[in-house]
Amino acid sequence: MAAVFDLDLETEEGSEGEPEFSPSDVCPLAESRAAGPEPVGHCEEVELTETSVNLGPERIGPHCFELLRVLGKGGYGKVFQVRKVQGTNLGKIYAMKVLRKAKIVRNAKDTAHTRAERNILESVKHPFIVELAYAFQTGGKLYLILECLSGGELFTHLEREGIFLEDTACFYLAEITLALGHLHSQGIIYRDLKPENIMLNSQGHIKLTDFGLCKESIHEGAVTHTFCGTIEYMAPEILVRSGHNRAVDWWSLGALMYDMLTGSPPFTAENRKKTMDKIIKGKLTLPPYLTPDARDLVKKFLKRNPSQRIGGGPGDSADVQRHPFFRHINWDDLLARRIDPPFRPCLQSEEDVSQFDTHFTRQTPVDSPDDTALSESANQAFLPPEVLTL
């Protein structure tokens, strides 16, 4: 599951035009811009909360899971498809994300991103956000056991189709809107919306994944200055470091909408610098085949001033939901997953990995020996606050 999580913990990444602007046009707080980015053996069970994961007396560890396939791999670890073979939920298929602590603790930002991801997965429950079932650690590794999203990445399906019909895009964008709105209601900015971070479950509904770049405790009126995300989907106020809030997620949704309907993000160039320049001051070109509602929503998402951007005000996702592009969406039915997705993955069984990259799925699944001994302080960096003294 290559994009269930970004195992490299990426941290830096017809014609309609808007006038060029200065950083202060992007965000009224540009004048008070921050100087730079924010700082960001035996099995030990990590008790998270009494209402979410690791419930009851069951002792959870790597021995409880049989490795089936490799779904993804990166510099910090691997993601496996696994089957639970001990305790409750016998036979259930999960995705097991394994991270090497020794590599993560070398960088304070990576440690912070890992903790933020775990905290958010623990606390946030929503139909369109990946579910965390268990979390534990050994001497040298961190383990997150997640629902296995066998429909694969939205990126894969978009790449295969080239572009989506507007009705198809509307469905996915609507589900993503509900997921983002829920995160924002919890004071969380997502900050890395892109096709690779959106997975499909076996029925074809979307699930947001990869929460390492999220920012917590950002409520109405608060801003942050960290430079993070994926350049092509990154809001201009992040690029100019003028301070940003949850409105950056609506810019990213606009870039994703444009990608779905045209086959590429709205601002691209031969290198990062030129791409950033286009995002900051380039003209937006809209193909003539887009319907008026689609054109209008894209333009409102891609307003460079976040206070003028749809969703950028106090109404947040409610303002997005009211746009005519979504007029045929019954939001209650959508949230309850009573609307059939436009695409249902063709899967032969719960273990089917046909929607994933064969470069990974053909590899022999091996969770390499845990032979790293970290200091007590390094180990505690990954424990939730309530168990630091245990």
What are the extents of the domains in the chain? 15-36+153-335, 44-148+352-382
Question: Where residue 119 falls among pLDDT bands split at 50, 70, 90?
Answer: confident
What is the structure's pLDDT at 390? 20
Over range 263-273, report the average pLDDT.
Answer: 93
Token representation of residue 247: 């409105």
Share of the chain above pLDDT 70, in %: 75
The residue that leads in pLDDT, 44 or 223, is 223
Mean pLDDT rounded to a whole number for the chain: 80
Query: How many C-beta atoms lie closer than 10 Å to residue 82's C-beta?
Result: 25
Q: 44-148+352-382 sits in which CATH class?
A: alpha beta
Question: Where residue 220 falls among pLDDT bands split at 50, 70, 90?
Answer: low
pLDDT digits (tens, 9 = 90+) for 364-385: 898 877 655 555 555 555 555 3
The residue that leads in pLDDT, 47 or 172, is 172
Is 311 annotated to bind a ligand? Reply is: no
Is 78 annotated to bind a ligand? Reply is: yes
CB 192 within 8 A of CB 120: no
What is the structure's pLDDT at 15? 42
The strand order across the sheet containing 77-84 reads: 44-45, 132-137, 141-147, 93-100, 77-84, 65-74
DSSP E strands in the chain: the ranges are 15-16, 44-45, 65-74, 77-84, 93-100, 132-137, 141-147, 152-153, 198-200, 206-208, 284-285
- Is 340 a catalytic site residue? no
The one catalytic residue in 25, 110, 192, 316 is: 192
Q: Look up tokens 């930002």; give the residue.
A: 109
What is the structure's pLDDT at 74? 72
Question: Where residue 5 falls among pLDDT bands split at 50, 70, 90?
Answer: very low
Least confident of 50-59, 143-152, 326-335: 50-59
Question: Where residue 244 falls among pLDDT bands split at 50, 70, 90?
Answer: low
The residue that leads in pLDDT, 57 or 1, is 57
Pick the CATH number of 15-36+153-335 from 2.40.10.10, 1.20.1050.10, 1.10.510.10, 3.40.50.720: 1.10.510.10
Q: How far is CA 171 from CA 105, 164, 176, 318, in A?
A: 40, 11, 9, 16
CB 20 within 8 A of CB 209: no
pLDDT beyond 70 at 323: yes
pLDDT beyond 80 at 217: no
pLDDT digits (tens, 9 = 90+) for 225-236: 454 557 799 889
What is the structure's pLDDT at 23? 41
At CA 187, angle to CA 186 and CA 188, rounded to 5? 95
pLDDT digits (tens, 9 = 90+) for 67-94: 999 998 876 788 999 999 998 899 999 9
The residue that leads in pLDDT, 6 or 153, is 153
Is 390 annotated to bind a ligand? Reply is: no
Is 207 annotated to bind a ligand? Reply is: no
Is 76 annotated to bind a ligand? Reply is: yes
Q: How far is CA 40 from CA 37, 111, 119, 171, 216, in A?
A: 8, 8, 15, 35, 12
- pTM over cut 0.85: no
pLDDT beyond 50 at 2: no
pLDDT digits (tens, 9 = 90+) for 19-34: 333 444 444 433 333 3
- Alpha-carbon distance 279 to 275, whole Å? 6
pLDDT beyond 70 at 248: yes
Is 72 annotated to bind a ligand? Reply is: yes
Query: How many C-beta atoms lie closer than 10 Å to residue 315's C-beta?
Result: 13
